[in-house]
Structure 1
Amino acid sequence: MQNRPASRAGPVARPGTSMSMAAGEFFNWADSSQPNNAGVGAARPGTRAQTAAPRTRIGTAAQSGGIPPRAQSRAQSRLGAAGGAVGGPRPPSVVARPVTQQGLAGVRSQSRAGVNRQVQDKSYYMGMLRAKINDLNREIDTLNKELERGNHDRDNFLIYEKRAEEAAMEIKSMQGKLADFNLLVDRMNTNSDLNAIQNDVSHLKDQNDMVAHEVDALFADRREKEEQIKQLEAELDSEKRRNQNLLNKLDQDARDRYSELKEMAEQVMEDARLKQQELEQLIQKKSDLEDELAVSPLKQEAMVLHERLAELQAKKEAIIEEINAEGTPEQQRERLLEKVKKDNEEIAAMQRQTDEIREKIEQYHEELRELDDEYEDQAGEKNEKYRELRQKEKQIDDFLDSFDINKAEEQERVERLHANVVKLLGHISRNWAQLDKTAVISGMDEYDLGGIGHGKMTEAKTAPELQEVHVRLQEELLKMDDMEEKAREELESLKIKIAEMDDEMGVFNDLDTLKESVEQKREGLQAERSRLETTVVEAREALKKLQAESTAIKAKLNENDAYQQVVNAEKKLQYVEQNNYALRETVEARSAETNVGPVKEQVLEMIANYNTTLVTLAATRVGSATRVAMANSPQQPY
């Protein structure tokens, strides 16, 4: 078997197993003072020869017996001392070993390397990890127990808190009962009358009922207010969402403008808040000063004198300015003339500007009206024509899509109508035969009818009964005539409809021609649509341009003082006209209240019409009664 190296690749060879040293190696006690805490890849301490003997698989297997490093070191030391191994220094004697309570102990090094393993391999770190994991598990178990105990204590706390609340409520109720009993005992000790106590109890009960009703009313009012608040909050939220949606629909410039205005509004609100605070401070300061003045007559007198001094100072300055401004009489006359001339010139210029602006406004209004009328006429006609074409196209498409179904339905309807016509003709023929028989029967005399063996006509039939039968048969004959006329009319209409449907079927049998015509109409409609869309775009652009010009003109007019004066004058004129109209209506109402002539004539006319109606109704009723009496009177049979 071939030997393999005993260590991995690295600066210094290290054992490939958990054993600290190979068999036959000796611990270098002289160098035991050097630190031995190097990890993987660091230099091993000088505990063996410079060149490690190669290991075999047998040696590796022998090392896997799990002998601790210290025991192996002690065994190697004993072997070295007994056999006098070559290649290492003599180990220390028993005298050099310190004596402890447990016996002889090894020489402790000055560093911490003596208490750790010499080889920190995988098993060493696995053991350390297991120990740490066990510590963590124990700590987790401890924390879980503390958590469970805390949850249990919390549950107990909630239970105890609930019990404490119940006990507090019970104590409160018992305190109320105790107060009632104490009051009752006091009344008994003061020899109060039982009726007085009962009156007090009833009075208190009424007060409690009143307070309970007030509390219920307040609670209902509160609920109503809360509902109103919720409704207002919902409306406010909806308005906010609607405003946000409108803001999102705006373009970027409008949103930027909105943001700027919002910031300006917030700044203005902040300034207003600061001014309000300053105003409140000044008001507070004023109230403080007024309080101080109220308690000090001397300060009040000083304030009055100070105000009088300020008034006199203002009068003095006004007089000085007036004296300085007036000058000599000639200067005053010249200034007055110049001012009058200047005012007249300004008035004339303003009048001319006002006339020019009014003419321009009227001209612009006239142009706008003409443009609006033209645009509305064109747009209305084109839109109406476009809608009609689209509707016709839709009707044609629907008709082509449902042609087969409609054709089958119409054929079924025609068949049903044919069957119905045949049935009606059969009924008519049978009724004609029955009418002929009825005519023969009605032409018989009383003696002939007495001999007929029908079940309905017997010898006991009288002349009035036969007359009644005759009238009923005549009515049935008239009904049959009406039915025959209706059947003829319906038959004629059905024939006309059948002819129309035959014509339509002849038209729609040629589907290729129909499709070509429909396709031509569709192409024409598409071309018309394109032309109308182009016209609409051009009209919209022109409208936007005109609106922009109108807006600019309105802005210029709003900036003009003369236009503002004209607008104000027009508003005053409208207000005066409204007042005149209201006054005119008031005068007419007053005159209508005092003038009863038209009302009197109207009432008399209504009374005359009512009397005429009553006379007509009475005459109609008399005629109806006469006809009924004549019909009920006995007549001779035919």
Structure 2
Amino acid sequence: MADRPSTGMARPPTGLNPTIRPVTQQGLSGGRAVSRLGTGSTRQVHDKSYYMGLLRAKMNQLTAETGRLEEVYQKGLRDRMELDAYEERAKQSAMELKEMQGKLIDYNVIIDHLHTNRELNDIEAEMRRAKESADEIEATVQELFKERQAREREAEEIAMEIEEQKRLNQAVLAGMDPHIRERFDECKEKNEQLKTEVDEMQEEVNRLKEQIDQLEIELGNSPLKKKAIQMQQNIMELEKKKMALIAEKEAQETPEQKKQKLVEQIRTNNKDIEKMEKQLQKINEQINIAHEEIREFDSSADEKLAKNNEKYRDLLVKEQEYDEFLKGFDQQKQALTLELEEHSDEIVRILQKISANIGQSAAMEPSVTALDMDEVLQGRGSLEELQELYMRLQDEMQSLDDKEIRLNSEMEKMERRMLEMAEQAESLGDVDRIAMEAEEKIRKLEQRRDELEAILPELEERRETLQKRLSELQEQLDSNPSYVTYKSQLKKLDMLKEENARRRAEIEEREKETNYEPLKAEARRLRALYNDYLIASLAKR
């Protein structure tokens, strides 16, 4: 303010002469003090012109300050433009430097080749290989560029399809039922609200994560906060000690309460002893079961061995029978065939004689009564005798036919029996192999029995060890004074577990209340239904 011009400078000059100024109350030597407005003692009346002068002075100062700031701004713009130009030149210089570095590397390679006395042909071949590699890289870049252009065209086509689908959706919405349209608008608004809520919550989560990171950074940088955390941990440890002391104080009870707890301890000990006795009983049962299994195994092994031996003997007998039958089958077949041929020849001969005698039966006299078979065959028999002989021969023929049929059936049965025996022989295979398998199985079973017998003493020893350990634990439990404390700690642990489970259930309920995934799924389902409805409407049109 000392630099501002006084208001007297802005006033027009007057005809007063300071030397002939009238004397004031202070006299010639008692001048007024300089005012804070810078007018000195020359201004005594603050009128309009005085304030106008002040405003003009302020305006001049503001104009000067504005001009100075404009110069500073213009200078900043010039500096900024120069900085942009410098940055552009720096980029160009960096690119030129890279190119020159590449050329320098090439020149260094050429110099190395020259120093190593390589032939020009080798250098040219290497140049061709480098050129081929560069061409391949260029072709790859061109393919990638073409693929990118194709992808961009596909993206544009998809965008056009999306716009077309939007127009179709708008057309369908325009012709939709008002109720469905209202429902769709409600779902759309709800979806938008859910989206905004999800975005807000995501922002809140991100903000909280940033805040957590910031707090962790501050915590790592601030020794006071570290010290506060350490003190908080110390407080928690002291609270735990306090709870332990309170529990110890509560444990110091009256003799009656101690007696009651001792009775409870005895009961729990008895329960534990009963549990251990049950375990011992189970082990004894397992040992008995093992003994029984061994006995059953021995008996079953003997039975299986006897059965296998009996089957083996039966198989040997059947094999002998089959061998004998196969050896005598051809002879029996030949004997039966010869017998059948003899009977057939006899029948043919008798029939020939009968046919020869039938023609002479009319001329023969019926006086022949007691002729034997030879006489009848010689032509001296009567008609009745011939008829009787004919009937008897027919009976014999019938019996022979029956016998032939029976023999044929027996032959067929024998052939079928032979086929069955051959199939059985094939199915049974080698009898020695079956016997070896049975012996191998018996050997394995005996080995298993030996293993069980070897395990049995170990189980008995383990039972005795458990029995001794049980008695030792019982004695230690009886002589342990901290057993009651242990039980109380177990109870507290159970209570804490229940409290933890309850809190976890509450947290899960709160998470379910704030879980918007079902709403999101419902919105997607409604959107899919709406799209299906739009597609169906378009298909109908």
The structure where helix makes up a greater share of residues is: 2
User: Larger relative contact order (C-alpha < 8 A, sep ≥ 6)?
Assistant: 2
TM over 0.5: no
- Give the TM-score of the pair, scaled to structure 2: 0.30
